[in-house]
Amino acid sequence: MKISQIAQGIKLSSVSTLILVFLIACTGSLSRANFEKVNNGMGVEEVKKLLGEPTSVETVSLPVLGTVTRYVYKTEKGEASVIFRDNQVQSKAGSISQ
């Protein structure tokens, strides 16, 4: 194997690592500060940008309210839930440590 091929492999590996770090940095995570930024009327994608992907998602159809979705977030910092109706935040509850 030539030195130029090895150098090219190292460059490719470095670029891949940088992209992965960037993507992780852009993903939200459950923290008290981020949870406090979640407000009624926010969309699903806005919440995911702040809190990341939920641990679990539960959807139920209710006679009067229609379809309601609950996103549950569980980490070592605590637990939180966000209730969506028509893809907009209706309420939130949680206990998250600093």
pLDDT at residue 97, rounded to an integer:
87
Three-class HEC string of 48-77: HHHHCCCCEEEEEEECCCEEEEEEEEEECC
From residue 51, how far is each of 48, 72, 92 by CA, in Å? Answer: 5, 10, 12
The pTM is what? 0.70
How crowded is the C-beta side of 55, counted as CA atoms within 13 Å? 12
Q: How far apart are CA 32 and CA 21, in angstroms?
A: 23
pLDDT at residue 2, rounded to an integer:
66
Residues with Cβ within 8 Å of 27's Cβ and at least 6 positions away in sequence, in order, are: 52, 53
pLDDT at residue 18, rounded to an integer:
42
pLDDT at residue 20, rounded to an integer:
42
How crowded is the C-beta side of 40, counted as CA atoms within 13 Å? 2
Domains of the chain listed by start with CATH number: 28-96 (3.30.1450.10)
| pLDDT < 70 regions, the chain | 1-27
